[in-house]
Each structure stands twice: as C-alpha cells, then as structure tokens.
C-alpha cells in the first residue's frame, strides 16, 4: 500500500492530523473574513467554524495522501455583498494561503521553542521523534499549500485573486469553461511528463521557503534543528 502513498505509511496518523488542522484553518480563514466583510453565505452554511468535518473534502484529502497536495471544500462567497468588492474579494481569497504560511511560521517557532526550553531533551526518544515528525509535516504541508493555492488555475485561490484583474468578458468565458480547468489540472497531476514541466517546478518553491524559515529560526535562536523535508 505504501507505494501508492506520497508519504511513509508509518507516518499516516501524523499526516491525517495535520490535514485536519491545516485544511480547517485555511477554509475557516476564507469563511470568517467573508463574514466580517458582510457576506453571510458561508456563515449560513455553517462554515465559520473550526470543526474539521465541515471543511474536509474526501477526494482532496485522499489526493494529498497519494499525490502530495490536495484541497478542502471551497467556501461559498458572494462578492456582491462586499462594500468594496474587488479589494475585499482579493483579501478573502488571499487569507487562506496566508493562513497556511502563518501556521508554518508558528509551527517552526513552537518546535524551536520546545528545543530551546529543554522540553524536548527531557522527553523520551519516542516523544522526541514524534514531535519532530509531526512538526516537520505540519510546517512542510502548510508551506506546500501556501504555494499550491497561489497557482492561478481555477478553482484555486491564486485564480480568484488574478481573476479580479481580468476583463469581465474573459473572466466570464473562463467561468463558463471552468470544468475543463479541473480536467487539465488532473492531467498535470497524474501524467508524470506533464507534471514534471508544470506543477513540479512551482511546487518545488516550497523547499527554499522551508530553508528560509529554518534560516530565520537559526538567526533568532542561535541553533538549527534538522527537520526532515
């Protein structure tokens, strides 16, 4: 079974826990910001919550396990209810990926703080290993989702941001053919030669971001933790 998964089978419990946290916070950020800007569509559907069961998408979660990235249930947004439609639409779309970046930074601070305080060193070897594995995945998957969701391909957040700057006629035409974008996306995922020249170069940006966060933590704490990527 392991060869069909992107991650080691023994790490599956950590991955599932991370998925529940990062997807939930991402979608909550969309729903909460839209609600605060005057659109109660997501609120009425019960999406302004940190309950993972409301936000998780089965296919998107499975795809993260087998392909290395995925998605949650999109939050419904009615931008016509915003006072400043374009600006607020961009903010609502951007807060999802930014929440992932923020979680990655917070996760990095926590693991470095635990090491600096000596808490990790007094724990058993099993607990130490579990902490390193969990926070490595927590940080890395959040960075991955930050990069992935900014790809300007519908229905990702990157497209929603870019679409606010497109001419209405072009935007309408894209919306009419949005199902083809999903098919194209799946081709990029499951056909290795296409993925190698499309998604992989973009998703590889997660590694310099990960290294940059590690460098930042090293400059703050005065030491560096080896976190597997």
pLDDT, tens digit (0-9, with 9 covering 90-100), for 96-155: 999 999 999 999 999 999 999 988 888 888 888 899 999 999 999 999 999 989 998 877
Per-residue pLDDT band for 215 (boundaries 50, 70, 90) equals very high
Higher-confidence residue of 168 and 157: namely: 157
pTM of the model: 0.90
Whether 166 has a pLDDT exceeding 50, the answer reads yes
pLDDT at 229: 67
Residue 156: per-residue pLDDT: 86
Q: Residue 38 half-sphere exposure, CB side, CA atoms within 13 Å?
A: 9
User: Which 3 state secondary structure label does DSSP give 203?
Assistant: helix
DSSP assignments along 109-138, one per residue: HHHHHHHHHTHHHHS-HHHHHHHHHHHHHH
Active-site option among 2, 27, 164, 175: 27
Tell me if 134 sits within 8 A of 205, measured CB to CB.
Answer: no
Q: Has residue 67 got a pLDDT over 80?
A: no
Based on the residue annotation, tell me whether 45 is a catalytic residue of this protein. no
Instruction: Return the pLDDT at 191.
Output: 83
């Amino acid at each position: 079974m392991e060869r069909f998964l992107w991650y080691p089978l023994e790490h599956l419990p950590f991955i599932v826990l991370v998925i529940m946290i990062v997807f939930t916070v991402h979608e909550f950020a969309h729903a909460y910001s839209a609600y605060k800007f005057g659109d109660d569509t997501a609120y009425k559907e019960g999406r302004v919550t940190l309950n993972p069961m409301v936000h998780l998408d089965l296919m998107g979660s499975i795809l993260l396990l087998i392909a290395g990235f995925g998605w949650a249930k999109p939050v419904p947004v009615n931008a016509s209810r915003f006072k400043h439609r374009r600006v607020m639409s961009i903010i609502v779309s951007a807060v999802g990926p930014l929440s992932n970046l923020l979680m990655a930074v917070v996760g990095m601070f926590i693991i470095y703080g635990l090491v600096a305080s000596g808490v990790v060193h007094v724990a058993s070897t099993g607990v130490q290993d579990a902490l390193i594995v969990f926070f490595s995945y927590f940080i890395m998957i959040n960075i991955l989702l930050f990069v992935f969701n900014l790809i300007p391909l519908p229905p990702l957040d990157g497209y929603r941001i870019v679409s606010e700057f497109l001419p209405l006629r072009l935007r309408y035409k894209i919306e009419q053919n949005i199902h083809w974008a999903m098919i194209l996306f799946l081709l990029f995922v499951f056909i290795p030669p296409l993925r190698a020249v499309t998604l992989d170069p973009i998703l590889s940006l997660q590694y310099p971001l990960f290294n940059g966060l590690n460098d930042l933590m090293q400059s703050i704490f005065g030491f560096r933790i080896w976190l597997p990527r």
